[in-house]
Structure 1
Amino acid sequence: MDASAVCTDGTSTTGPGSQDGAHRRKVSKDVQMDIEHLCKAVPQLATAFNILDKIGEGTFSSVYLGEARMRDGRKELFALKHLIPTSHPTRIAAELQCLTAAGGRENVMGVTYCFRRDDHVVIVMPYMEHRALVEIIGSLSFAEVRLYVYHLLKALRHIHQFGIIHRDIKPNNFLYNRRSGVYALVDFGLAQGTADTKIELLKDLGGLRRTPRPVFGERNLNSCTPAPSTTAPDARKAEEALSWRLSSASRAAGRTLSSSSQKPQRAVQPGLTCDCFLTDRVCNICMSRKQQVAPRAGTPGFRAPEVLTKCPDQGTAIDVWSAGVILLSLLSGRYPFFKAGDDLTALAQIMTVRGSRETIRAAKTFGKAVVCSQELPPQDLRTLCETLRGRRRSSTGEGVPPAMADACRNRMDGASARGPADAAEPSLQKQESLSSCERTESLVKPNLEAEEEVEDWDRVPDEAYHLLDRLLDLNPNTRISAAEALQHPLFKGL
């Protein structure tokens, strides 16, 4: 949902100048046509609502602002979420069940009503006035950031208790009304369930515990929790025979190359079917394999490492990682912080902040082999955020030297600038080719709105960066949970 306040005369107000919206604009002809089509598709809406504007549009739905006259005569605003007609019925029902079971409390948006006609479904929810984070990030105080993250973690703890994995945690889905101090987690359209989820329809969707499609030759590399082999003896013998033939062909090709170039070949690791393991290339055998299937729904820039590396065993920790990325944006004053065109570039950007060795080590814990062409040390999170925010102080008490700030920004931009000398590029072993990475123009985007700085940014406690470090733990098995994060010293007194 976009930031927008709508007047009863059919005009909407929006803009960065005011919480209530300082600039009035008429509803466009395109929006008027969309409203007319919606009323024709679901005639019941016209009997209950005066639809004023279209306030949001995404891949799977559009959101409209509707005004209803209540029995006591007062008028009340509602958000009308129109799901695309091609949405699967079980997916729609699962979203409704998430809203009815967990919504309406603990900063989670509830549902008021639902209209359906043929393949058109409209979910009616309370309307919450808010502004987009990108418009206000420059004016937020640290006290506001602390409260924002606290309430976000409360919402995550609540839905995780129901076994709901939101899968699309981002500022656009966690609405914030600064004037009233109200928060709301919205959009469960991509939600999936844990193994013990209380939402029955999430189980019907298969959740995240379905058996992953095996990738031939990758033994114990495609599961977060390696399990003993249960392959039948005859099938195992056939697999080993085929593996031996492929290995022989690969070794023969290696000997031919060695005889012509006089370069020694790396020994083949037992159990693998190629000779590119732990190298900075991907061989033809690996390139010819089918891509592994794993859930990767979510918004680029907020996906956790286990999502980017296609780990099939994903849990509520992916929502916590996304909350960590939000906190990183708020502390650094940069939104969006990560912006990548593909998963490998996104992984390279994470390495730029968290370190390449650390990323490789974490990936190994959940069964993925990652190779990086350049070693990148982890960055100190306080130094990074204060430098990007322009608050870093030197030993003389003056602002950070321009050369240091430039070096930090160049280091960050290096993860997305093309060229072998200044870019560290990861490879998901047995997955994609290095050449498939597309570069983006910048890892860290500047503020889109220059606003007055707030004084309390000079007094950010160490606890904020300690929590950030725990939220951005590369290993999902040791990453802090939402419930644990709420007990963090940063939130003492809340």
Structure 2
Amino acid sequence: MDSCVACTDEMFGVDGIVKSGNKKKMSRDMESDIESLYKAVPQLAKTFRIIEKIGQGTFSSVYLGEARMQDGSRGLFALKHLIPTSHPTRIAAELQCLTIAGGRENVMGVEYCFRKEDHAVIVMPYMEHQAIVDIIGTLSFEEVRLYIYHLLKALRHIHQFGIIHRDIKPNNFLYNRKAKKFALVDFGLAQGTADTQIELLKDLVGLSKAPRPVFSERNLNSCSLITTKQETKTQLVRTGELSSRRFPPARRGLATVRNQKSQRGVHHSLTCNCFQTDQVCNVCLSRKQQSAPRAGTPGFRAPEVLIKCPNQGTAIDVWSAGVIFLSLLSGRYPFFKASDDMVALTQIMTIRGSRETARAAKAFGKAVLCSRELPRLDLRVLCETLRGRRPVEEVCKSLDDCRKKRAVETPLLSKSKAKFQKVSQSETLVNDEQGWDTVPEEAYDLLDHLLDLNPMTRITAAKALEHPLFTDF
């Protein structure tokens, strides 16, 4: 990108900064941020009046800007200011994704780009939207069906270009409820598939593979709809270590992940004692760390991301869409919440089952061990219970039957009863008016396919759009 203004005064017909009689009162911090942006990229002042900051992320800030168009009308734009430390190739790749794939099929496009030294501002059309967290309790099933359809439509489109978004979540899929418009945004973490059509994504291989410790990852701060940090904790170990470990008696639910590789070269004299503890021993610290792409937002990362699978494809976006669908069907957002990857994996196991998770992990070269078996839950029963459409006793009976059949104890489930009982009768009446009393079986069948633990058999966005749930679309 050259250091030049990407749009000119003549293009917009601007005769100075546009003034508005409805200017909102800004805080001193926001005024300071806007002033700093004007100083960093002075070209902006010639074209835009920055109204306010509307978003703040780890790698960027988003502002609402106003400009006068050629016909004299006022146009609103979203100005994304990337932090100066952003990798140049990363910035250029995001721009290329927006330019090539954006502007259609529910994918946000790009209008202009400004650059001054190490500061870059991407200008996109502004779309008024509502946050899912604010409206999830009032959405009808038909609105949810429309939402997930358009999300899958956007994913199908970018996946055709070989783009893996890697950060699919409601905040990145804008929803204008009144106009029924949708827009997938923020390709700052995107990566390419092996046959990607976005040339610059090919240059990003390795940029997102920051080494991370994978031994005894500690649960520091987590909470969940089903699990708590006192009940579950996870570790990562590699093949060959288990044979040389002295396991202390299991004290709590624990999941362990290891690579399925040859045990040759393992020194059996190096005995590790940190398994199922809150500590990391020197033996584990001395071993070579695993690394794999792990971009994304906690709660929406796919299982293959959580266990550091090096070969990740477009299926991780489909999993994230499945988590969103689960939230919308259950009326609970966010559904998963954990700051530790292994705790997040355990939370997934409480819904999809520990046996099923281990079976899926084995398919892509990992072994998952769990000291407590967690049964797979029925997705319809789970969602309808959380929406108050089923009595708690019915769910607990189903889970108890599963527990007796497998002869395992599930203390995690008893913790959930209190949460289920908080759903009121009034919420049930509202659900009836919104169509939640007639949710078809096809909705939960699609959810099951989206949340397939195995990325190799997980449904694609293109196939999901052909699902019977969307026949009338």
Q: TM-score, normalised to structure 1's length?
A: 0.73
For residues 44 and 200 of structure 2, what CA distance do their matches in structure 1 show? 27
Q: 1:492 — aligned with what?
A: 471
Kindly tell me: are residues 41 and 409 of structure 1, through their superposed partners in 2, closer, same or farther at Cα, counting changes over 3 Å? farther
Q: 1:311 — aligned with what?
A: 309
Q: 2:325 — aligned with what?
A: 327
Query: Please, which runs of 5 or more residues in structure 2 have no aligned partner?
Result: 1-18, 215-239, 249-261, 401-408
The answer to whether residue 91 in structure 2 is matched with residue 92 in structure 1 is yes
For residues 381 and 274 of structure 1, what CA distance do their matches in structure 2 show? 45
Q: 1:35 — aligned with what?
A: 34
For residues 171 and 398 of structure 2, what CA distance do their matches in structure 1 show? 28
Kindly tell me: are residues 484 and 443 of structure 1, through their superposed partners in 2, closer, same or farther at Cα, counting changes over 3 Å? farther
Q: 1:298 — aligned with what?
A: 296
For residues 445 and 410 of structure 2, what CA distance do their matches in structure 1 show? 33
CA contact (8 A) 2:208 2:294 kept: no
Matches within 5 A, 1:132-147: 132-147=131-146
The answer to whether residue 201 in structure 2 is matched with residue 202 in structure 1 is yes
For residues 157 and 406 of structure 1, what CA distance do their matches in structure 2 show? 38
Q: Which of residues 10, 18, 21 in structure 2 aligns to 1:9? A: 21
Q: Which of residues 447, 459, 462 in structure 2 aligns to 1:483? A: 462
Hey, which bits of structure 1, 4+ residues long, moved more than 2 A?
7-12, 207-210, 269-277, 279-288, 402-410, 420-424, 450-455
For residues 130 and 388 of structure 1, what CA distance do their matches in structure 2 show? 26
Which deviations, in whole Å up to 9, do the C-alpha atoms of 1:270-324 show, x marking residues without a partner? 54726799x9659864453132010000000000000000000000000000000
Whichever residue aligns with residue 469 of structure 2, its letter is L
Q: 2:441 — aligned with what?
A: 462
For residues 319 and 376 of structure 1, what CA distance do their matches in structure 2 show? 25
Matches within 5 A, 1:62-101: 62-101=61-100
Matches within 5 A, 1:43-442: 43-206=42-205, 271=264, 273=266, 281=276, 285-392=283-390, 400=391, 402-404=392-394, 422=411
For residues 134 and 44 of structure 2, what CA distance do their matches in structure 1 show? 32
Which deviations, in whole Å up to 9, do the C-alpha atoms of 1:410-443 show, x marking residues without a partner? 9xxxxxxxxx98469xxxxxxxxxxxxxxxxx99
CA contact (8 A) 2:66 2:75 kept: yes
CA contact (8 A) 2:353 2:377 kept: yes
CA contact (8 A) 2:167 2:295 kept: yes
For residues 365 and 303 of structure 1, what CA distance do their matches in structure 2 show? 18
Please say which of residues 453-462 and 321-330 is displaced more in the overlay.
453-462
Q: 1:237 — aligned with what?
A: none
CA contact (8 A) 1:387 1:408 kept: no
For residues 203 and 419 of structure 2, what CA distance do their matches in structure 1 show? 38
Whichever residue aligns with residue 106 of structure 1, its letter is E
For residues 151 and 67 of structure 1, what CA distance do their matches in structure 2 show? 28
Kindly tell me: are residues 42 and 443 of structure 1, through their superposed partners in 2, closer, same or farther at Cα, counting changes over 3 Å? farther
Query: Please, which runs of 5 or more residues in structure 1 have no aligned partner?
Result: 1-6, 13-25, 216-245, 258-268, 393-399, 411-419, 425-441
Whichever residue aligns with residue 459 of structure 1, its letter is T
For residues 163 and 114 of structure 1, what CA distance do their matches in structure 2 show? 23
Residue identity (%)? 70
CA contact (8 A) 2:78 2:126 kept: yes
How big is the alpha-carbon RMSD for the aligned residues of Structure 1 and Structure 2?
3.3
SS of 2:266's equivalent?
A: coil
Q: TM-score, normalised to structure 2's length?
A: 0.76
SS of 1:62's equivalent?
A: strand
For residues 142 and 467 of structure 1, what CA distance do their matches in structure 2 show? 14
For residues 294 and 360 of structure 2, what CA distance do their matches in structure 1 show? 18
Kindly tell me: are residues 391 and 421 of structure 1, through their superposed partners in 2, closer, same or farther at Cα, counting changes over 3 Å? closer
CA contact (8 A) 1:302 1:325 kept: yes
For residues 107 and 203 of structure 1, what CA distance do their matches in structure 2 show? 24
SS of 1:167's equivalent?
A: coil
For residues 119 and 347 of structure 1, what CA distance do their matches in structure 2 show? 38
- The alpha carbon displacement at 1:409 in A equals 11
For residues 358 and 208 of structure 1, what CA distance do their matches in structure 2 show? 32
Which deviations, in whole Å up to 9, do the C-alpha atoms of 1:126-156 show, x marking residues without a partner? 0000110000001101001001000000000
